Chain A
Amino acid sequence: ETGVTQSPTHLIKTRGQQVTLRCSSQSGHNTVSWYQQALGQGPQFIFQYYREEENGRGNFPPRFSGLQFPNYSSELNVNALELDDSALYLCASSPNRGINEQFFGPGTRLTVL
């Protein structure tokens, strides 16, 4: 059974640029959630996708957008990057959108200069 994978591991961008982060969910999981974790903080929920549809969104601006594909992998896109977007971005998959434990990937460390 393959766990949750994320790419890239690290990324450096400059203010104003756009970035796409990728996540492959664990086999058999149809729900993917994205979180932003700033240094020394707990994760903050960005949004969740269930069977290719957005299934809830946290308090993030529209320049944070996402997609889920038929194979349940997912992308997080961030436009017009700001310095405060520097964080660890975590993807988690779960078997369905009910209350299940979420299995996290190793994260993508984004640095915005």
Chain B
Amino acid sequence: AQKVTQAQTEISVVEKEDVTLDCVYETRDTTYYLFWYKQPPSGELVFLIRRNSFDEQNEISGRYSWNFQKSTSSFNFTITASQVVDSAVYFCALSEATGNNRKLIWGLGTSLGVNP
């Protein structure tokens, strides 16, 4: 069965610290997609990144970077020089790529608090 594990329930850092959010997934599919979403206190989920299983290149977008390692089934997310506005719950999600059913399997989320 597909599964996403975010082992860190809560993380608290001081502004300007770097922080890495871990995501480990399980799937029997050879083709799949991984996502990260941010959920600020307002509740709306904000898309951050999508990665397909054939693309293991790491990606950087401003202060955000992602490390995809198929060998360890991990898709970790790093925020460099964290800011108070980064405080939110971050979800990692996994999607099947076959058939017509495109549901996302979500982790339980990591609550990140960035203190001034």
Contacts and interface: CB of A to CB of B under 8 A. Distances in A.
B50 interface: yes
A99 B100 contact: no
Interface in A50-108: 50, 55-56, 58, 88, 90, 92, 94, 97-107
Contact of B97 (A43, A55, A92, A99): A99
A43 B47 CA distance: 14
A99 B102 contact: yes
A48 B103 CA distance: 8
Given A41-B108, A99-B50, A48 B43 contact: no
Contacts, number: 66
Contacts of A41: 108-109
Interface in B86-116: 91, 93, 95, 97, 100-109
Given A43-B45, A88-B43, A107-B44, A102 B104 contact: yes
Which of B33, B35, B43, B108 has most A Cβ within 10 Å?
A: B43
Nearest to B105: A45
Contacts of B52: 99
A49 to B, nearest CB: 11
Contact of B91 (A42, A45, A88, A105): A42
B45 A101 contact: no
A99 B109 contact: no
Contacts of B93: 42
Nearest to B95: A99
A24 interface: no
Nearest to A98: B102
B109 A106 contact: no
17 contacts: A40-B108, A41-B109, A42-B107, A43-B45, A45-B105, A55-B100, A56-B101, A56-B103, A90-B45, A94-B102, A97-B100, A99-B102, A102-B47, A104-B37, A105-B44, A106-B43, A107-B43
Given A33-B103, A42-B107, A56-B101, 12 more contacts: A31-B102, A42-B4, A42-B91, A42-B106, A44-B106, A45-B105, A55-B100, A56-B103, A94-B102, A99-B102, A104-B44, A106-B42
